[in-house]
Amino acid sequence: MKNLFISLVCLFAIMGYMNAFSQNHDNTKAISVATNLEDMYNWNLYPTYQTYLDFMNYYADTYPNICKLDTIGYTTQNRLLLALKISSNPNIDQNKPKFFYSSSIHGNELTGTMVLMQFIDTLITSTADDIIQLRNSIQMYICPMANPDGTYIAGDNSVSSAVRYNANYLDLNRNFPDPKAGAHPDGESYQVETLAFMEYALRERFHISSNLHTGSEVYNYPFDCYRSSQKEHADKSWFEYMGNEFVGAFSSTTPSNYFTDVSSNGIIDGGDWYTVFGGRQDWHTYFAHCREITLELSMDYTPSNAKIKRYWEYLHNSMFVMPKYCLIGFEGVVKDTLTDEVLDNVMIKINNHDRDSSEVFSNSNGYFFRPILSGNYSVTFSKDGYYSKTINVNTSNDMTTLQDVKLLSMTQSIEKNPKKDVKIYPMPVNSVMVVEVGEDMNYSIFDMQGQMIMNGRIHSRANVLDVSKLDNGNYFFKIYNAKEQYNKKILVIK
């Protein structure tokens, strides 16, 4: 009897393994591929590797004014990792929000590849006003195939044997640094694909992103490494609000049971489904200060050719929902108060809201975008070496609020490009200060928070400025014209 029990256990284990294998290697289907672009546009054939490259190059070559091809990096087997950048001026880094779509980090999960290829075609070629506005208002990055080594494991002309893993047979979606498990949660070194995607994300500084999968049907939001009872993302309500709109935008032809296998409303906090360590979603969200959603689009890992078209039919409206959230929140440029230079890496924190690395940062252009639902927020801008500034921001769910900010340096040179003929007295200042200059110039007085208190014009003589309304304390006095400026710290004592 004991031997019979052991035999049954082994049999069930083998059956379970075979079932898992069949899910990842569905060789029972006849899966055909498109060997040229003409066949590709029937949208019922998966691309060969060369057809995929031709597809990506076609849009960059044909629409250079709105489309640019980026090389993210290379795979273990030296295949290309590509993204199309689509925007009103894709050749420069504009002060606009950035959205990143990618798919098939698991090489056998190809529904998203086909959906994103059709999304690219629609986004670029559509003449609909709302799509043109979206294309002009944000910077869109789209990578339809994030693991071509796994997809073309049997060779560049077949996807029938596609596998989940990369060429080293490692799961790329368990290979990222993790907020909870730390570095190398899978116990393996970072794969070249992982490093490429991390470097690309840190360079481009995406604001919202989504990674497309298959095997279930659900909208999955951070965190994956924590159950919601342990930790919830600060923007949980934002993720759910967007998720409800995503699901609500399904086509009228979508089956009623679509997106119901995991959650009745199609939306779930990732860790409440099951915990994942080393996933790209949590890395993007926690370490890159982006907001990433995982979309599971189909129960079939690699749908048969006859089923491919249906998913774009279901999702063609929903796929535009998340990018539109790059138009909701507040944005601006942060600059140095005295020099007017843009400031990189300024932290923008919503007080009594942000936690667990949910703050955002300005980029090298000084530009920032904070996606957030409508409300009145107290927001603090801070950077090492600068005085922090807190302002109130009002946002609406149907618009982006503009909010440019200037910060005052703690270590600013007191006299930058000083003019020899500038004199300021007396020091400390009482109720008036005298400024002598050799030519007409503008002046501004700032408090230590960078707020401008006074400004005006002074002339090539002794100018008497009434500062009687200034409180006791330190201020910055700035004289400037189009060519140069003079900055001095002054002390007011009455």
Q: What is the pLDDT of residue 415?
A: 46
Give, in order, the Cα–Cα distances in Å from 193 to each of 123, 196, 283.
Answer: 27, 5, 14
- Phi first, then psi: what are they for 124, rounded to 5°? -85, -40
Tally Cβ neighbours within 10 Å of residue 57: 14
Q: What does the pLDDT look like over 119-147, one tens digit per residue?
A: 999 999 999 999 999 999 999 999 999 99
Q: What is the pLDDT of residue 23?
A: 41
Q: What does the pLDDT look like over 394-427, one tens digit per residue?
A: 999 888 898 899 998 887 544 444 455 688 888 8
Cα(253)–Cα(178) distance, integer angstroms: 39
Q: What is the pLDDT of residue 420?
A: 55
The two most distant CA atoms of the chain are separated, in Å, by 109
Mind spelling out the 3-state secondary structure of 389-444? Answer: EEEEEEEECCEEEECCEEECECCCCCCCCCCCCCEEECCCECCEEEEECCCCEEEE
Task: Give the contacts of 418 (CB within 8 A, at least 6 positions apart).
Answer: 486
Q: What is the pLDDT of residue 104?
A: 98
Q: Is the pTM of this model over 0.75?
A: yes
**Average pLDDT, integer, range 171-186:** 96
Mean pLDDT of the chain: 91
The mean-pLDDT minimum among 106-120, 194-208, 432-446 falls in 432-446
Q: What does the pLDDT look like over 340-387, one tens digit per residue?
A: 899 999 999 999 999 999 999 999 999 999 999 999 999 999 998 899
Q: What does the pLDDT look like over 276-331, one tens digit per residue?
A: 999 999 999 999 999 999 999 999 999 999 999 999 999 999 999 999 999 999 99
Q: What is the pLDDT of residue 451?
A: 84
Give, in order, the Cα–Cα distances in Å from 169 to each of 290, 403, 481.
Answer: 28, 47, 63
Domains and CATH numbers, the chain: 25-327 (3.40.630.10), 329-407 (2.60.40.1120), 423-492 (2.60.40.3080)
**Average pLDDT, integer, range 12-40:** 62
Q: Where are the alpha helices (DSSP H) in 279-401?
A: 280-286, 308-315, 321-324
User: Quick one: tokens of 284?
Assistant: 């993007």
Tokens 């006003």, residue located: 129
Cα(323)–Cα(212) distance, integer angstroms: 14
